[in-house]
């Protein structure tokens, strides 16, 4: 009975636990509640993945109302992979969060933090699972509103302005999406994604649908921080509490990418999106710009969190590059990189949280000689950095390999060169941190710095472990990504 209701429970259980968490007055209880729920969500995500793997796409009618009258939950392989990413990052960051939150947040905020975190988790999961365009907007807002709050809780006052900037841009994005959904509804009379895609061909050649497509694309691009609409991201990730940066960098923008995939392939269809609207060329151009410009900007940052944030903008460029090819190979390479980058960036931001806890700073010029004091943390950073660069035997290598292959198959050899060049840029910015930590003489106060606590190191190394494992044996995850891409494109071809 519970198993057949798994799609709904996947979202409803974190949703219900958020108010429960608010009722728990003791922060330790709130943390325990969030921890248990996070691991429960991961268990459900694995079960769900297994169900989709064996049974194929799952459809669940909420309230037992048939589509298009009721709201449908619909999970295919791409969705199941996204849920797994969100759930994994959530489960890994929660044990880490306790020390980090105690350190970086005011004591009176710690209880509310866990409530907002669970709401954000609910929103992200809800976006992925839903098969209804308006329901997507509602859960997008749940995740956005809670992430504004999470970011604003950061230790410096600039967290407030970062959150405000994100709120304004995020709301503009959401309103654009709402306008797009409204225009789609106006022309098709339905909100169910499958139903829209079936009724769309009749009206596809109208100006209204073209405008709807443009508004949805721009709105979602703000949410996923596609260059040049990324300007909210560097501040948000720099000034948010470290665990929030890790969680958001690994999930929020990734879910944005997923929404874009849903709209392009499931809803509008490959034909319309790429052949009629030529979105592939535009995306490819923006992705190239993102990869080059953001990587260059990252080199000149002294604050490592800000450097990683710009690196995220570049990495989103890689994912979009794969999608812009609009082939099964390209989209599956994009999805593979989406998974790998979530694990890499999560681990790197978590390493920065460890450093901030002990050093009180994440500026490169304060890190001189840090490797001797915090060997495990710095080793995690180096391992994550190697994966980010794309060195063989790491996860980053696998996804870049597939990306290069997909580009070469379509004859885009300059893209392959671009990927190599930008890997060199990544090497430079990672090296700046490594040089400071390993090869500079320590400052006067450095001997007081101790290694981070195990509660923070072990979760960081768990994500690094996933990276190394994928680097050695990428069979399973590649298979899932390929099935996900096939499911997305297959639906589009019907």
Partner 1 sequence: MTELLGHYNYWIVIILMMTGFYIVIARPNLVKKVIGLFIFQTSVFILFISMAKIEGGTAPIIEEGLSVYSNPLPHVLILTAIVVSLATTALGLALVVRIQEAYGTSNEDDIHVQDEED
Partner 2 sequence: MEHLIDIVLLGLLMITGFAIVRMKSLLAVAMLTSIYSLLSASLFVVLDAVDVALTEAAIGAGISTILMLATVALTRDEEKAPRHTPLLPLAVVTVTGAALIYGTLDMPHYGDPAAPVHQHAASAYLHDTPGEIGVPNVVTSVLASYRGYDTLGEVTVIFTAGAGVLALLGYRTRRRNIQGPGIRKLVVLRVIAKLFFPLILLFALYVLFHGDYGPGGGFQAGVIFATGFILYALAFGLGNAQRVIHHPLLRIMAAVGVLIYAAVGIEGILLGGKFLEYGVLADDPVTGQHLGIMLIELGVGITVAAVMLIIYYGFVSRQD
Q: Pick one of partner 1, partner 2, none as the site partner of residue 175 (Cβ within 5 to 8 A by kind).
A: partner 1
Q: Pick one of partner 1, partner 2, none as the site partner of residue 2 (Cβ within 5 to 8 A by kind).
A: partner 2
Helix, coil or strand: residue 73:
strand
**CB count, 10 Å around CB of 172?**
14
C-beta of 261: minimal distance to partner 2 in Å?
22
- Nearest Cα to 464, choosing from 96, 103, 83, 117? 96
What's the gap between Cα 486 and its chain centre?
21
Nearer to partner 1, 134 or 401 (CB): 134
Q: Pick one of partner 2, partner 1, none as the site partner of residue 379 (Cβ within 5 to 8 A by kind).
A: none
Which positions lie near partner 2, rule CB under 8 A?
1-2, 5, 8-9, 12, 15-16, 18-20, 22-23, 60-65, 68-71, 108-109, 112-113, 115-116, 119, 122, 126, 134-135, 138-139, 141-142, 145-146, 148-149, 152-153, 179, 183, 185-191, 199, 203, 206-212, 214-215
- Nearest Cα to 188, choosing from 180, 177, 200? 200
Contact 488, 131 (CB under 8 A): no
What's the gap between Cα 378 and its chain centre?
24
Contact 56, 310 (CB under 8 A): no
The residue from 145, 248, 298, 344 that contacts partner 1 (CB under 8 A) is: 145
Q: Pick one of partner 2, partner 1, none as the site partner of residue 408 (Cβ within 5 to 8 A by kind).
A: none
Cα–Cα distance measured from residue 240 to residue 37, given in angstroms and rounded to the nearest whole number: 23
**CB count, 10 Å around CB of 156?**
11
C-beta of 325: minimal distance to partner 2 in Å?
27
Per-position DSSP letters for 111-150, written without gaps between them: HHHHHHHHHHHHHHHHHHHB-BHHHHHHHHHHHHHHHHHH
C-beta of 336: minimal distance to partner 1 in Å?
34
The residue from 29, 32, 40, 141 that contacts partner 1 (CB under 8 A) is: 141
Q: Pick one of partner 2, partner 1, none as the site partner of residue 321 (Cβ within 5 to 8 A by kind).
A: none
Residue keyed to tokens 């890790």: 246
Contact 325, 255 (CB under 8 A): no
Residue keyed to tokens 């390929």: 482
Binding positions for partner 1, 157-216, rule CB under 8 A: 157-158, 160-161, 163-164, 167-168, 171-172, 174-175, 178-179, 182, 185-186, 191
C-beta of 135: minimal distance to partner 1 in Å?
10
Q: Which residues bind partner 1 (CB under 8 A)?
A: 134, 137-138, 141, 145, 148-149, 152, 157-158, 160-161, 163-164, 167-168, 171-172, 174-175, 178-179, 182, 185-186, 191
């Amino acid at each position: 009975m519970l198993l057949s209701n798994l799609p709904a429970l996947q979202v409803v259980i974190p949703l219900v636990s958020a108010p429960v968490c608010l009722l728990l007055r003791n922060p330790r209880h709130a943390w325990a509640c969030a921890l248990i729920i996070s691991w429960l969500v991961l268990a459900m995500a694995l079960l769900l993945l297994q169900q989709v793997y064996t049974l194929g796409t799952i459809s669940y009618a909420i309230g037992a109302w048939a589509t298009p009258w009721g709201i449908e939950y619909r999970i295919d392989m791409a969705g199941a992979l996204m849920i797994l990413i969100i759930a994994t990052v959530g489960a890994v960051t929660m044990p880490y969060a306790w020390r980090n939150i105690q350190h970086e947040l005011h004591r009176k905020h710690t209880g509310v933090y866990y409530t907002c975190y669970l709401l954000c988790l609910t929103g992200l999961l809800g976006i992925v699972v839903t098969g209804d365009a308006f329901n997507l907007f509602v859960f997008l807002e749940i995740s956005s509103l809670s992430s504004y709050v999470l970011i604003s809780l950061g230790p410096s006052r600039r967290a407030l302005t970062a959150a405000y900037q994100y709120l304004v841009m995020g709301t503009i994005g959401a309103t654009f999406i709402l306008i797009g959904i409204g225009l789609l509804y106006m022309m098709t009379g339905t909100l169910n994604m499958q139903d829209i895609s079936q009724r769309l061909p009749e009206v596809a050649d109208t100006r209204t649908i073209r405008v709807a497509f443009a508004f949805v694309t721009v709105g979602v691009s703000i949410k996923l921080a596609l260059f040049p609409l990324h300007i909210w991201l560097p501040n948000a990730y720099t000034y948010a509490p470290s665990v929030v940066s890790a969680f958001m960098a690994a999930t929020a923008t990734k879910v944005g990418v997923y929404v874009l995939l849903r709209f392009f392939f499931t809803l509008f269809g490959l034909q319309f999106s790429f052949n009629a609207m030529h979105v592939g060329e535009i995306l490819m151009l923006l992705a190239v710009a993102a990869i080059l410009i953001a990587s260059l900007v990252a080199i000149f940052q002294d604050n490592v969190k800000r450097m990683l944030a710009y690196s995220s903008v570049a990495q989103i460029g890689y994912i979009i590059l794969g999608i812009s090819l609009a082939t099964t190979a390209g989209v599956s390479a994009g999805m593979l990189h989406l998974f790998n980058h979530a694990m890499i960036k999560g681990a790197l931001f978590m390493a920065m949280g460890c450093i901030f806890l002990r050093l009180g700073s994440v500026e490169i010029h304060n890190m001189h000689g840090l490797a001797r004091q915090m060997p495990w943390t710095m080793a995690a950073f180096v391992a994550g950095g190697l994966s980010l660069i794309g060195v063989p035997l790491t996860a980053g290598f696998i996804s870049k390999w597939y990306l290069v292959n997909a580009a070469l198959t379509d004859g885009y050899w300059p893209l392959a060169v671009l990927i190599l060049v930008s890997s060199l840029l990544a090497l430079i910015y990672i090296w700046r941190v490594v040089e400071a930590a390993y090869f500079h003489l320590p400052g006067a106060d450095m001997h007081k710095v101790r290694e981070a606590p195990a509660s923070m190191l072990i979760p960081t190394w768990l994500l690094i472990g996933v990276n190394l494992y994928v680097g050695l044996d990428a069979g399973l995850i590649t298979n899932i990504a390929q099935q996900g891409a096939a499911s997305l494109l297959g639906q589009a071809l019907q």
